[in-house]
Structure 1
Amino acid sequence: MKKSLIGKTFVFLIGVSLLLLAACGSTENSGDEVIKVGVGSAEIPTWNLVKDLAEEEGITLEIVKFDDYVQPNLALDSGEIDLNAFQTVVYFDNFITERDLDLSAIGTTSIWPMGIYSQDKGDISDLEEGDQIIIPNDPTNLGRALLLIEKAGLITLEEDFDGQGGTENIAENPKNLEITPVDSGQTARGLEDAAASVINSDMAIKAGLNPTNDPVFREDSGNKSYINIIAAPTDEKDNVSYSKIVEIYHSDEVSSFIEEEFGGAAVPVKEPISYLDDYKQN
């Protein structure tokens, strides 16, 4: 009986020891914080690097891919993801105002110049009477596209046009161009039928286009309104780990990667978020 009791005690102690060892092993990894970041497909290469660098800081990033401009903010607001990084500051501000979302911009990332693309025209001046131009239809990208078409010398907008509003703001259209707003995700496909299409860089990359070399006319990268940002729920905007992610994104290693990976299609921005406080005056 005594031997049996000793044997059971020994087995019990072995079992407890194994449990303690297992617990110690899980504790080693349990310190890692998992943060879900929603990004567009074009930015996944950059965020894979950020993920690797964050891992060294004890932060585990889970990258969640989105293919549109609506769901990432809704997912952030509902708590499905912790951060997102896919949109310009002007788009973000308009979206959260319209949807009454309590989200905040916490860091700058890069600027992706918009371009006018064409399969048939070698130069923007080759557009002819009545040609169709496809543009994105969401409020901020629509206005941005109209400003780009104006800068290309094709139309004249009302003097007080500030980027808000649609084609009703066209004051002069000498070539009677047919300017057709469609969903941003369809702008690249529009090249199959239209003479030209205004396409965001991330959508262009997704369609296999080169945003540096392929446009017949391209936006410059100096407008603060079109700088992309990292967004978080407002009650988490001062989260230390989130601030660390912004810091990592602004590192020389990430900036160099963006420059080499995208060849000018994306331009890294390392300014603090306060840099965008006056973007509406830019």
Structure 2
Amino acid sequence: MATAKPILSQPLSTIVTYNPMSASLDTTLEELLEQVYMVGFHHWPVIDDDRRVVGIVSDEDVVRTAAMHESAHMSNRFRDARGPIRITEFMSTKVYAISYDTDVSAALQMMLEKGVNSLPVTEDDRLSAMVTSSDFLREFSFSEHDACHAAVTTYLDLTPVQVPFDSSIEEVKMACEAEGAIYAVVMNGDFPLGVISRRDIRRAKSRDLARVMYLSEDPKSIRATDIIRESHSILPTDTMRNAARTMQNMQLQALVVSNRQNDLVGVLTQEQILHAML
């Protein structure tokens, strides 16, 4: 008989992040870019003066908009004829928000179906908390969910996008986009060095833009090996729980799965773990 799934039966209020970072309608592009660069935030609910959620912005929106508006003159950087570029010019007004009455499994299902990593949680229509993919990953890693004890081979991607170690991050990004993937395995010949996600690429771009903006330096070409973090792989026989804990502790979106000879077997992502929870 299958065991219970306490993660999905507990109240939503037990897993959310309270008092989340948010942005006002007056927030500028430059301010958000600095937060991506300095702190590594990935998403901001946009609230009005009554704390009602009127939009949402991701780090991808910030980096894309900054790259589009970057000026050759420092005095005009991230400005247009009307002044500083404000969040209202590039935020999404299509917001998927939930309340504390929302079932945990319904919240997770919505996150996966809509392809988002966070959901604002409102109380009396006002922003109260956020629930993110990291919140679900954390709960899974300490739970007794059935899938915790399964080997990662049950869920992993056996045909991940692969790029040479000397690829630029633009080449990595294009390779991911061509396959509709959110990550790529960086290879040195037949051996995997690690995984780069599109989020890693956005963070690297924001750092480069901030360096150009604050230090007046020229943009530089960034290679895959410049941003790949400490290589960490797991074995095909490792459990999903161990994989989730490794992702959580190292703040990774994906893990290389390789055998004892360091041959690439596949990749396990956060999204695959979240699907396993349902």
- Which has the larger helix fraction? 1
Under a length normalisation based on structure 1, what TM-score does the superposition of the two structures give? 0.25
Structure label with greater radius of gyration: 1
TM-score by length of 2: 0.25
Higher relative contact order (CA 8 A, sep 6+): 1
